[in-house]
Chain A
Amino acid sequence: MPQKDVGASHFPLIEPGRLSEFRFNEPFSAPVGTPINLFSATLATTFILVDDPGDRVWVNAAVRWFANFTAVGTVTVTFTLLRDGVPILAINQTVFNPVAGAATVSNVFRLQYVDLPLSGLAIPTLTPVVYTLQASTISTTAFTTGPVTLSVAEIEPNRL
């Protein structure tokens, strides 16, 4: 049962907007293994059980990635977040090599997103929702060896 917010001096109500059902997928927590080519890659997948139409899902993700250059140039990677296979977020990040020689250039992708997966639902229904983080680029020289982290948490509706 929800607890009273006993610390609230003026509004001793049940505090809404809480975080619950935290889940995550962290296939690599450190740079290890065979590099994953970001030309077209699924980096992480996790699911969460949500039940109320007003539930928010707070999605956080972090990926260290790099591009191997042999000459001056830029590489842009698009990271896409999907809910049950449907893209709901897309964001780009670029690295560049300023020198004429070979170089490996790293960057860290980090984002948060808030989703409302059961919006419009008439009655509360326990529903599994799958979130997937994908990467794509026109380059064939962008990779990740980790870390890759994708976390989701259900946030209950607020008081107002």
Chain B
Amino acid sequence: MSEIHAAQVSSLEKGKLTEFQVAEPAALFGNLTPPVSFPVAPAFVDLATVSVFVDDTTDRVWLNATVGWFASFTAIGTLEATFQLLRETVVIYETRQAVSSPPSIPAPPAVVNNIVHLEHNDNTPIIIPATVTYTLRVQASAAGAVTSGPITLTAAEIEKNVVG
């Protein structure tokens, strides 16, 4: 949409979102074929990658990610997944989410679904203007965790604010 009204305050409005980038390997549960199994630590598997061009050292990069995942339990237990965001090869964010089996396993295996949402603000994405690549990756504490989608990773440059 054209920014007709923004012109009146354009000299004051800062902190804007620009350069929005997205990687979306799958949007529907079951659409990722074959499904991606989460490797057992210490291995990781990459789920999505985005690159964003950052032109000012004062720019921030706002990262958001959503992953639908599940575990198929054949025995009683708990399974924990570790999700990481990397700037190039540096881990800048890590979070964990666990799913547990019911106390009795019906037949067929008990499938437990969950949704993880990651949000991180990278305050120091660059030293000089450059294209920065961010990667979402995952591992699990034990075998049995899988994603078949959805997976969405977004990165957006946020300009500096008026103050601070």
Q: Contact residues of A with B, CB < 8 Å?
A: 1-3, 5, 7-11, 15-21, 49, 51, 56, 58, 72-74, 76, 78, 87-94, 96-98, 109-114, 154-155, 158-160
- Given A17-B21, A18-B18, A111:B66 Cβ within 8 A: yes
Tell whether, in the assembled complex, residue A1 and residue B7 are in contact, meaning their CB atoms are under 8 Å apart. Answer: yes
Tell whether, in the assembled complex, residue B1 and residue A49 are in contact, meaning their CB atoms are under 8 Å apart. Answer: yes
Tell whether, in the assembled complex, residue A3 and residue B7 are in contact, meaning their CB atoms are under 8 Å apart. Answer: yes
One of B33-41, B79-87, B133-141, B149-157 at the interface: B149-157
Cβ-defined partner of B157 (8 Å) among A17, A88, A113, A114: A17
CB-nearest residue of chain A to B104: A72
Tell whether, in the assembled complex, residue B3 and residue A17 are in contact, meaning their CB atoms are under 8 Å apart. Answer: no
CB-nearest residue of chain B to A98: B103
Secondary structure type dominating chain A contacts: strand
Which A residues are in CB contact (< 8 Å) with B110?
74
Which A residues are in CB contact (< 8 Å) with B3?
1-3, 20
Interface size, chain B (Cβ < 8 Å): 53
Give the CA-CA distance A90 to B115 in the complex, in Å: 11
Check if B10 is an interface residue, CB within 8 A of chain A. Answer: yes
Which A residues are in CB contact (< 8 Å) with B74?
none
Which A residues are in CB contact (< 8 Å) with B30?
90
Tell whether, in the assembled complex, residue A19 and residue B115 are in contact, meaning their CB atoms are under 8 Å apart. Answer: no
Which A residues are in CB contact (< 8 Å) with B143?
none
